[in-house]
């Protein structure tokens, strides 16, 4: 039996909510390599909400190049060198990289792509130290873009102070669960919102947030504001927004003087044509800051500080991380759609093998 390659391509640009057949799973032989090429085995791939922004024809503001119909979808991945061409140097079978790579079992790249121009930028191949005790998939989550995002936005934009109240939406997600834990460790009161009793249980039990509730129980602004008033009797000092929409609009009503709204993403809006409209009343009186944030502004600049701060917390068991692992490239469409219908629970990872 010939082992074949399996890849996930974009079938077409999605209209509105992403659908299963916006993707296409293609099979083929394991690609041949020439003398200057490297064959990479893909160990795990990351599925993140920001990818939705890449699945548009014209999206000048998107911060990564768009996906193209018929092409393999590129995501943050962990790959391992399986085979090298005759002229390849300084790259060895078994080496692992954190990189931007296709969702597939095998990929061939020229050695120059891995070696790059010496700059350690997003999208480049970053070699993973084999002595590092961190498990592979964590480079996509806790120690990857979502974890770094959580750490940087919480600390650098949220500017948390002990005793403050933080409200976190999508709180059991790839970013949210890290924000909740960092905030607890810093002595904040943490109010978390997610989508299901199972997630609420995790947040209250494993993460030990102070309050957790399902937004599904408060499906409009009026009831959501009432719920927030109940669980945030002292108002909100930091709102870490992962969702946008009526949840953001509600949180704005509760923000305290000098409150910070960390605008990390608006997952409720990515698939909508008619976007939510927000009330911005009283922003001046309350001196609120609403700050849109992007990973790229903090990394690789803050990488050292991030690792130094995080590793002890993880090693001592003070910081845990929940993943939602999908086995097989063909599960990608389901995993991606699960980001938007709240089906996923924790950081979504695809394992091609």
Task: Give residues in contact with a copy of itself (CB under 8 A).
Answer: 53, 61-63, 244, 248, 263-266, 269, 275-294, 297
Q: Which is nearer to a copy of itself, 64 or 91 (CB)?
A: 64
Nearer to a copy of itself, 40 or 266 (CB): 266
CB 70 within 8 A of CB 9: yes
What is the C-alpha to C-alpha distance for residues 58 and 45, in angstroms, rounded to an integer?
25
For the CB of residue 275, give the shortest distance to a copy of itself in the complex, in Å.
5
The CA distance from 172 to 195, in Å, is 9
**DSSP-assigned letter for residue 141:** T
| CA distance linking residue 185 with residue 51, whole number of Å | 31
Q: Which is nearer to a copy of itself, 53 or 110 (CB)?
A: 53
> Shortest approach of a copy of itself to residue 61 CB, angstroms?
5
Nearer to a copy of itself, 230 or 287 (CB): 287
Q: Which is nearer to a copy of itself, 84 or 157 (CB)?
A: 157
Nearer to a copy of itself, 61 or 119 (CB): 61
Structure-block tokens of residue 93: 């079978």
* Strands 165-168 vs 37-46: parallel, antiparallel or unpaired: unpaired
* Least Cβ distance, residue 296 to a copy of itself (angstroms): 9
Beta bridge partners of 109: 38
Instruction: Please identify, using beta-carbon distances, which residue of 30 and 294 lies nearer to a copy of itself.
Output: 294
User: In angstroms, how far is the first alpha carbon of the chain from the final one?
Assistant: 16
Looking at the Cβ atoms of 39 and 261, the one nearer to a copy of itself is 261
For the bound state, the minimum distance from the C-beta of residue 197 to a copy of itself, rounded and expressed in Å, comes to 30
Cα separation, 180 vs 190, in Å, equals 6
Are 192 and 211 in contact, with CB atoms under 8 Å apart? yes
Q: Any idea what DSSP says for residue 155?
A: I
The answer to whether 322 and 20 are in contact (CB under 8 A) is: no
Calpha distance 211→105 (Å, rounded): 41
CB of 226 or CB of 280, closer to a copy of itself: 280
For the CB of residue 245, give the shortest distance to a copy of itself in the complex, in Å.
10
Closest CA to 211 of 226, 187, 198, 194: 194
Q: What angle do CA 149, 19, 199 make, to 5 degrees?
A: 45
DSSP string, 296-328: GGTTTTTHHHHHHHHHHHHHTTSS---EEEEES
Phi then psi for 206, rounded to 5 degrees? -75, -40
Q: Least separation, in Å, of the C-beta of 310 and a copy of itself?
A: 22
Least distance from a copy of itself to the Cβ atom of residue 122, Å: 14
- The distance of closest approach from Cβ of residue 146 to a copy of itself in the complex, given in angstroms and rounded to an integer, is 14
Task: Tell me whether the omega of the peptide bond preceding residue 300 falls within 30 degrees of 0, making it cis.
Answer: yes
CB of 23 to a copy of itself, least distance (A): 23
C-beta separation of 171 from 215 below 8 A: no
């Amino acid at each position: 039996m010939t082992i074949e390659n399996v890849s996930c391509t974009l079938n077409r640009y999605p209209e509105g909510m992403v659908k299963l057949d916006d993707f296409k799973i293609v099979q083929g032989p394991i690609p041949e390599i020439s003398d200057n090429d490297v064959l990479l085995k893909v160990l795990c791939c990351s599925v993140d909400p920001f990818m939705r922004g890449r699945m548009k024809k014209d999206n000048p503001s998107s911060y990564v190049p768009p996906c193209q119909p018929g092409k393999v979808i590129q995501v943050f991945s962990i790959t391992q060198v399986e085979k090298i061409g005759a002229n390849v140097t300084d790259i060895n079978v078994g080496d692992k990289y954190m990189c931007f790579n296709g969702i597939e079992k095998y990929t061939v790249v020229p050695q120059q792509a891995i070696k790059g121009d010496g700059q350690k930028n997003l999208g480049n191949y970053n070699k993973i130290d084999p002595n590092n005790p961190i498990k592979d998939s964590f480079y996509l989550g806790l120690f990857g873009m979502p974890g770094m995002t959580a750490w940087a936005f919480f600390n650098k934009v949220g500017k948390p102070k002990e005793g403050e109240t933080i409200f976190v939406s999508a709180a059991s997600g790839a970013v949210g669960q890290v924000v909740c834990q960092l905030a607890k460790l810093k002595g904040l009161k943490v109010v978390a919102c997610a989508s299901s009793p199972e997630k609420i249980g995790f947040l209250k039990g494993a993460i030990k947030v102070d309050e957790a509730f399902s937004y599904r129980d408060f499906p409009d602004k009026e009831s959501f504001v009432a719920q927030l008033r109940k669980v945030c009797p002292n108002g909100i000092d930091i709102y870490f927004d992962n969702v946008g929409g009526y949840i953001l609009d509600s949180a704005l009503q509760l923000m305290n003087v000098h409150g910070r709204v960390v605008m990390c993403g608006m997952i409720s809006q990515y698939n909508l044509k008619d976007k939510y409209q927000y009330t911005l009343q009283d922003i001046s009186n309350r001196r609120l800051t609403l700050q849109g944030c992007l990973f790229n502004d903090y990394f690789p600049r803050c990488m050292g500080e991030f690792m130094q701060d995080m590793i002890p917390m993880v090693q001592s068991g003070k910081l845990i991380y929940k993943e939602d692992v999908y086995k097989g490239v063909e599960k990608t469409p389901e995993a991606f759609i699960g980001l938007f219908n709240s089906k996923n629970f924790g950081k979504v990872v695809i394992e091609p093998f």
